[in-house]
Chain A
Amino acid sequence: MPATYEPIATTTLGSTQNQVDFNTISSAYTDLVLVFNGGVTSTADIWLRMNSDTGSNYSRTRLTGDGSTAASTRNSAASSIFVSVGTVGTNANMIIHVFNYANATTYKTTLTRFNSSAYTAASTGIWRSTSAITSLTLKAEAADTFTSGSTFTLYGIKAA
């Protein structure tokens, strides 16, 4: 069986932490998948950044449902891709696809599914850079933190 979905790294937090970084990502894959399971203290959103870029080089469009209302929002020239919605709580999961991340000619796109006890959401994001992605950062908004026990796993997907 060809292994097209390979675990690159996994982190389980032993204590609360503001951000988790995946650095020195190999360029050997076609796409990346980042899977999160856990929570965030307080009411923070979760941000995704590439290559530690904190500039206004991101945009995103999000479709959300809270159990009573469906809504869609978008932001341009943002300093990160918001990949969660509302209060994350402690029972959330998130699956982020990062497409064609290693190429050095096109902007990078993401597709995210987020689920919590309060929301379900699907969102797209763009990082307006042609640089190959070598690091990914998931960060709790402002000074908030991911809960202890939260897990983060990065997979690489090969087209062939």
Chain B
Amino acid sequence: MAVTHKLIQTITVGSGGSASIDFTSIPQTYTDLLVLYSARSARAAVGDDVYIRFNGLSTNLSSRTLYGTGSATASYSDASVAYIGYAVGDTSTASVFSNGNPNYVGSTNKSVSGDVVSENNATGATQQFAAGLWSSTAAITQLTIYCLNGNFKQYSSASLYGIKNS
């Protein structure tokens, strides 16, 4: 029986924090990639935006996002970055981490499906869905997630899985 979800690598942020989590030298033997992350930002706010980029490039990225806060829903777009989630910030309830699963599928232009939950036992809790797009036909060899305003805090982690369709 085929193993379709294979763990490629897990990265856990150390005591100094990190501006990004990078997966490099990604094997080209999979159909799709799946990232599961648990993250907290050092930003002095209730939350921080999390983005994705590929092969170290910050061009040809865009996204559409839908989110709910428990009392309102909204949608917004980004024309130059690919939003894929959210991370609680440094003023959020202690020990809370946000969880998301950006899931790349695609062999031409790269489309991304991002789901994230950020419960906080307080205001600032959100549930979000994101559609990201990297308009490039280049093979993905590197995948980076990063916060808009702050570093990932210690104990933030992300795992990269490879999915095979045969």
Query: Is B165 an interface position by the 8 A CB rule?
Result: yes
How distant is the Cα of A3 from the Cα of B164 in the complex, in angstroms? 12
Per the CB 8 Å criterion, the residue count for chain A at the interface is 35
Which A residues contact B (CB, under 8 angstroms)? 1, 3, 5-7, 10, 35, 37, 63-70, 72, 90-93, 95, 113, 115-122, 149, 151, 153, 155
| New A-B contacts (14) at CB < 8 Å, excluding given A5-B5, A95-B105, A120-B129 | A1-B3, A3-B1, A3-B3, A5-B163, A65-B76, A66-B75, A67-B75, A68-B75, A91-B135, A93-B106, A93-B113, A117-B64, A118-B64, A151-B165
**Which chain B positions have C-beta within 8 A of A35?**
32, 105, 165
Task: Please state if A120 and B4 are interface contacts (CB–CB under 8 Å).
Answer: no
**Residues of chain A contacted by B109 (CB below 8 angstroms):** 90-91
Contacts of A115 in B (CB 8 A): 64, 111-113, 130-132
A10 touches B165 (CB 8 A): yes
**Residues 116-166 (chain B) with a chain A CB within 8 angstroms:** 129-133, 135, 163-166
Chain A residues closer than 8 Å to B32, beta-carbon distance: 35
- How far is it, in angstroms, between the C-alpha of A92 and the C-alpha of B5 when the chains are bound? 22
Knowing A1-B3, A35-B105, A67-B76, say if A117 contacts B133 (CB, 8 Å): yes
Q: Which B residues lie within 8 Å of A67 (CB)?
A: 64-65, 75-77
Residues of A close to B1: CB separation below 8 A: 3, 6
**A91 to B110 CA separation, bound complex (whole angstroms):** 7
- Chain A residues with CB under 8 A of B107: 37, 151
Q: Does B66 contact A (CB under 8 A)?
A: yes
User: Per-residue CB proximity of B67-99 to A under 8 Å, as 1/0?
Assistant: 110000111110000000000000000000000
Range of interface residues on chain B?
35 or more
How many Å from the CB of A36 to the closest CB on chain B? 8
Closest-CB distance, A105 to chain B (whole angstroms): 28
* Closest chain B CB from A63 CB (angstroms): 7
A113 contacts B106, C-beta separation under 8 Å: no
Given contacts A37-B111, A68-B76, A115-B112, contact A7 B131 (CB under 8 A): no
